Amino acid sequence: MDKIDHIGIAVRDLEQALPFYRDRLGLQVKGFEELADQKVKVAFLPVGESKIELLQSTDPAGPVAKFIEHKGEGIQHLAFRVTNLAEKLKQLKASGVALIDDKPRPGAGGARIAFIHPRSTGGILIELCER
Ligand code: ZN
């Protein structure tokens, strides 16, 4: 694990959430991206070497919409930067960790990502992210 790459925060509406982070906390918005396969629109706000990623669902059946339905808005996942993601996934799987993705898939900002299932992490959705 190299560092915390980003923290994913589920919001109902990016345009309503952004003013707090941008105008009150003074973070800069470095861009937006829509990820069709994850059914989200993402805003990137760098903080030092890490980032806040604000996530708005684009589909009521998407994972972020379901998260908000069950838990409300808030921190949805924690992402660690790793090197050699495919190898790391093999090691985790071999040691019995429940993976949502056992192979890397494309994530925001050109990263390769995979999620670890919260049942193996004490309830936190953890993303591994290789850039
Ligand atoms: Zn993420």
Do 50 and 102 belong together in one domain? no
Question: Strand, coil or helix: what is 32?
Answer: strand
d(CA 26, CA 119): 35
Residue 37 clears pLDDT 90, i.e. is over it: no
b (16+ CB within 10 A) / e for 15-39: eebbeebeeeeebeeeeeeebeebb
Do 48 and 91 belong together in one domain? no
Say how many Å lie between the CA of residue 6 and the centre of ligand 1: 6
Say how many Å lie between the CA of residue 92 and the centre of ligand 1: 19
Nearest to 100 by CA among 81, 76, 128, 122: 128
Per residue in 74-121, pLDDT (tens digit) is 999 999 999 999 999 999 999 999 999 999 999 888 899 999 999 999
Do 97 and 67 belong together in one domain? no
d(CA 40, CA 59): 8
Residue 1 lies in a domain: no
Across the strands, what pairs with 32? 43
Say how many Å lie between the CA of residue 27 and the centre of ligand 1: 18
What's the total number of domains in the chain? 2
Residue 58 lies in a domain: yes
Nearest to 111 by CA among 98, 125, 99, 128: 128
Do 61 and 110 belong together in one domain? no
Do 49 and 87 belong together in one domain? no
Do 71 and 99 belong together in one domain? no
> Tokens in use for 67?
């998260």
Do 99 and 122 belong together in one domain? yes
Say how many Å lie between the CA of residue 127 and the centre of ligand 1: 6
Per residue in 17-30, pLDDT (tens digit) is 999 999 999 999 99
> Tokens in use for 118?
């919260």
Provide the domain limits for residue 129.
82-131
Do 11 and 71 belong together in one domain? yes
Do 67 and 86 belong together in one domain? no
Query: Domain of 52: which CATH number?
Result: 3.10.180.10
